[in-house]
Chain A
Amino acid sequence: NAGVTQTPKFQVLKTGQSMTLQCAQDMNHNSMYWYRQDPGMGLRLIYYSASEGTTDKGEVPNGYNVSRLNKREFSLRLESAAPSQTSVYFCASESQISYEQYFGPGTRLTVT
């Protein structure tokens, strides 16, 4: 039981490049989330998916797209990376029984 996994752990991009961050959970949770964490700040929600086939914008969705590929996987895509997207990105899933959120280890992204 791996919980929530994220790939890659680290990534450096040049301005304008694109990439996809991958997230998977093996806890059979319906809801999944993508957050970003900037230095000295709390987490801010980018997008979330309440169930397979649905996605909704969070607090800071501009510059990102998401895909809920199936119940296990929720990916985050940066189409044209900008230095303002330098951050640590966390994926989470939520138990429909306890409502607790479980986080992946994070992806540290630097855009130069």
Chain B
Amino acid sequence: GIQVEQSPPDLILQEGANSTLRCNFSDSVNNLQWFHQNPWGQLINLFYIPSGTKQNGRLSATTVATERYSLLYISSSQTTDSGVYFCAVGLNQFYFGTGTSLTVIP
């Protein structure tokens, strides 16, 4: 299967700080999505982004498919951003990374 590596594994931020999360993958894909798992376990889709750049409020993502990586930017972080961020990639099926655990402290 496709190998997916996310970095950093853990991140602690002060409220208001910015951060960049990275996802590297081992093979060509036609589907890449970023998810947020909140502290209660619910998974929410953030972006479908197999290539290019998208923005949604304080969040934005960029995927460079030819170089097999994607970046998730979080600006002006809030405590509600805490949780685990997963990158998932694939062709017919998804392979998930092990996630970046983000803690935002007030």
Which positions in A face B, CB cutoff 8 Å? 33, 35, 40-45, 48, 50, 56, 58-59, 88, 90, 92, 98-103, 105-106
Please name all residues of chain A whose beta carbon is closer than 8 Å to the beta carbon of B92 when the two chains form the complex. Answer: 50, 56
Interface SS, B side: strand
Which positions in B face A, CB cutoff 8 Å? 1, 4, 31, 33, 35, 41-45, 48, 86, 88, 92-99
Interface SS, A side: strand
CB-nearest residue of chain B relative to A47? B93
Please name all residues of chain B whose beta carbon is closer than 8 Å to the beta carbon of A90 when the two chains form the complex. Answer: 43
- How many A-B contacts if CB must be within 8 Å? 53
How far, in whole Å, are A88 and B43 apart by their CA atoms in the complex?
A: 12
The 10 closest A-B pairs by CB, nearest first: A42-B96, A103-B43, A43-B96, A100-B45, A100-B48, A42-B98, A99-B48, A45-B93, A42-B97, A58-B93
Least Cβ distance of A72 to chain B in Å?
20
If the complex has contacts A43-B86, A45-B94, A88-B41, are A101 and B99 also in contact, measured as CB distance less than 8 A?
no
Residue contact A105 to B96, C-beta cutoff 8 Å = no
CB-nearest residue of chain B relative to A95? B48
How far, in whole Å, are A41 and B84 apart by their CA atoms in the complex?
A: 10
How far, in whole Å, are A35 and B41 apart by their CA atoms in the complex?
A: 14
- Interface residue from B1, B41, B48, B86 paired with A106 (Cβ < 8 Å): B41
Least Cβ distance of A49 to chain B in Å?
11
Least Cβ distance of A29 to chain B in Å?
13
Residue contact B42 to A103, C-beta cutoff 8 Å = yes
How far, in whole Å, are A105 and B1 apart by their CA atoms in the complex?
A: 26
Please name all residues of chain A whose beta carbon is closer than 8 Å to the beta carbon of B86 when the two chains form the complex. Answer: 42-43
